[in-house]
Amino acid sequence: MEKHKIGITGQAGFIGNHLYTTLSLREDVELVDFERSFFEDSDALAQFVSKCDSIVHLAAMNRHEDPQVIYDTNLKLVDELLTACEKSKVTPHIIFSSSSQELKDNLYGQSKLEGKEKFMAWAEITGGKFSSLTIPNVFGPFGKPNYNSVVATFCHKVANNENPTILNDGEVGLIYINDLVQIFMDTIFGDQQSKPLNNNSSEVDIEPNHYVKVSRILELLNGFKSNYMEKGIFPNLEDHFEKSLFNTFRCYIPESHYPVKYTKHTDPRGSFVEIARTETSGQFSFSTTVPGITRGNHFHTRKAERFAVISGKARIQLRKIGTDEVINYDLDGKEPAYVDMPIWYTHNITNTGDEELITLFWINEPYDPEDADTYFESVE
């Protein structure tokens, strides 16, 4: 099978990282790695574009004390990318990350509008293909607090016992990062409806799929903190926005929060431990594991999952996809405890004791082999 070669400028950014890791799950894609230094090395940039069937251009500056620097930088990046294509004599499909700001009277918006026009002219002259995606406010796991979105800022503050301040309690239009990534992928592979701009260019004006007041976002996050972090109760995960916000919030919970010890009730008959209380559906299961054996080494992109050790000794390990740092938690069934798995963290559990390990699992979706949302990757 011939693979579609895709490069992403701005690969390390919030949207770029999510797009890159999601595309890496596809067997029909070969990712062409990009580094920021390529824009300072014309030969490296030319070599990069020559390898790509499609290029997603996300690299841009959106904050600086001098708006003129933003304008000049963004147009310079467009010019350098097009020069590299001309130098290599290639016409990859270029997908451009634009913004609703392009219709407003500011230099950032002007840089997006004029950058789009440059790509359109290039496509018309060379016969290349160009797609512009107008992107609304985006939220999701791993966004930078005080930078990417109000959601990232509020999640970080609430999870770390800080008090967010609402400056303007207006309604914000939002799109979850997974939904945006799907639109990017549909555009790359020709499955996304678009509006023609000229013979070789088209535009996708992406609408937010959630309109939420800022105070409602904070209300939900405070609920996650009091019910989930403090009481261990999973919220209702049927609503798409609330599930997306919950999965975002979980990625800001401090590493030190886990493992969470259960309350163990003991009497002459034995003991009782409540494993999980939820406001949503899901699947409960258990496993036994012999000493020295490891289970797991996989990750999920949407599922919420709990590992509860009730007998024996175990080490639970997690690692965020695309990073090297491994988080270790040691649990002992003499003091039953649990660890919850954030999305995009590959995880496993190893029996580190001399006796059989008994682990209880809860996951918010019953296992479906046709849509398992389970991707195997070793933690170490």
Span 290-336, pLDDT tens digits: 999 999 999 999 999 999 999 999 999 999 999 999 999 999 999 99
Place of tokens 């966004």: 143
Residue range 257-376, CATH number: 2.60.120.10
Q: Is the pLDDT of residue 267 over 90?
A: no
pLDDT > 80? residue 122: yes
Give pTM, 2 decimals: 0.93
Write down the mean pLDDT value for the chain. Answer: 95
* Domain regions of the chain by residue span: 4-135, 257-376
Burial (CB count <10 Å: 0-12, 13-18, 19+), residue 307: buried
| 4-135 is classed CATH 3.40.50.720 | yes
315: its two tokens: 């080490």
- Expressed in percent and rounded to 5, the helix, strand and coil fractions of the chain are 30, 30, 35
Residue 259: cis peptide before it, omega within 30 degrees of 0:
yes
- Which DSSP string do the residues of 138-153 spell out, in sequence order? EE-TTPPTTTT-HHHH
In this structure, are residues 356 and 334 in contact, taking their beta carbons and an 8 Å threshold? no
pLDDT at residue 220 tops 90: yes
CA angle 3, 39, 92 (to 5 degrees): 35
Residue 176 dihedral angles phi and psi, to the nearest 5°: -75, 145
Distance CA 172, CA 159 (A): 21
Task: State pLDDT tens for residues 5-32.
Answer: 999 999 999 999 999 999 999 999 999 9
Q: Interhelix angle for 150-159 vs 214-223, to 10°?
A: 30
pLDDT-derived band at 286 (thresholds 50, 70, 90) equals: very high
Region 357-369 average pLDDT: 94
* CA–CA dist 39, 145 (Å, integer): 27
Q: Model confidence at 101, in pLDDT bands (50, 70, 90)? A: confident
Q: pLDDT tens digits, residue range 144-161?
A: 998 889 999 999 999 999
